[in-house]
Structure 1
Amino acid sequence: MKGWPWRTTAIARWTSTGTYPDGSLYENHGVHVVRLRWGKAVSIDANEDSQAVERLLAAVAATGIVEASATPITS
């Protein structure tokens, strides 16, 4: 973290694991850059392997879970 309480930037590196519907391993990694003002998040820049997410969602959608193929939420 860096910055004053009224303008702080926090960076988080992360790794996520799980399983595909067929039981094979799912892995993803990324970085979130969070901008805070007085301790409240005002923006989050999420960077991850979007192709890994796309593959997982396609596999989940193929099992009949329609939400996995829904239009992305943009606002």
Structure 2
Amino acid sequence: MADATLTAKGQTTIPKEIRERLGLEAGDKLVFTALSDGTVVMRAKTRRLLDLAGSLTRPGQPVVGVDEMKPLRG
């Protein structure tokens, strides 16, 4: 747990340990979600589609190009 203070302008600084743990950098986008029980969830919205490239591969798995993929039927 880490504490932060809200300024008169509604701004706060995310504590360093939280920024480091989430890998946050200046300019990153954050998403705040207010739950019905009063809890607020903050998520880093830093993933881009390019960041996911290669995330589904396994060692030794053949590379398949988009043109080689068969469409799903169902």
When the two structures are superposed, what TM-score results if normalisation uses the length of structure 1?
0.27
Q: Which has the higher contact order (CA 8 A, sep 6+)?
A: 1
Structure with bigger gyration radius? 2
- Structure in which a larger fraction of residues adopt strand: 1
